[in-house]
Structure 1
Amino acid sequence: MTLPEELVQELNAAAREDGVPLSRLISSAAEWELRRRIGRQVVAEWQAEQGVFTPEELAAARAEMATADAEALAANRSTAA
């Protein structure tokens, strides 16, 4: 695998900042991308069977995700304190 040198330098800096090995940082990013691809496939299959999401359904999903994100951030802050 070949990566641009600037990207490798930035990844090394990010790994040092997070206190993790570079390989862990890269594998986490790769796993995230694969999960995202699977999610897109699941959504495409569902929409092929059920129809495209309506604007209302998308808005409701975004609101639910925002709430979940806010709750996760609050939980992380209280755990770190």
Structure 2
Amino acid sequence: MATRKITITVPEELVESIKERVDARGVSGYIAAAAAHQDAMDRLRELAERLEEEHGPVTDDEQQAALDRIAAIDGWHDEQRSHPGAAA
């Protein structure tokens, strides 16, 4: 992926906190990853808004069903990690 050097302004305390976690050359990568994450969240929010406009808001029952499904998938992954090699 092509990169471009830009100048940004970041609070000094934040820069120092980041530097404690990464070496000096890793600051750019850290900030790029944070920006990529925010961009993905913004795009996801835009998609959710478009879907809500088209299909209406998600009901409480639909939301709970989705959360239940996520919990079931998490449980399955936990089981797979605790028994690596078990048949699926």
In the TM superposition, structure 1's runs of 4+ consecutive aligned residues that sit over 4 Å from their partners are 66-70
Bigger mean CA offset, 2-11 vs 53-62:
53-62
Is there any run of 5+ residues in structure 2 with no aligned partner, and where? 1-7
User: Which position in structure 2 is the counterpart of 1:10?
Assistant: 17
Query: What's the TM-score, normalizing by structure 2?
Result: 0.66
Q: Is the helix fraction higher in 1 or 2? A: 1
Aligned CA-pair RMSD: 2.5
Q: Relative contact order (alpha carbons < 8 A, sep ≥ 6): 1 or 2 greater? A: 1
Structure 1: any 5+ residue segments left out of the alignment?
A: none
Q: What is the TM-score when the length of structure 1 is the normalising length?
A: 0.71
Any idea what the Cα deviations from partners look like across 1:41-74, whole Å, max 9, x if unmatched? Answer: 00100000100001111122233344555638x7
Instruction: Give the equivalent residue in structure 2 for 1:46.
Output: 51
How many corresponding residue pairs? 72
Larger Rg: 2
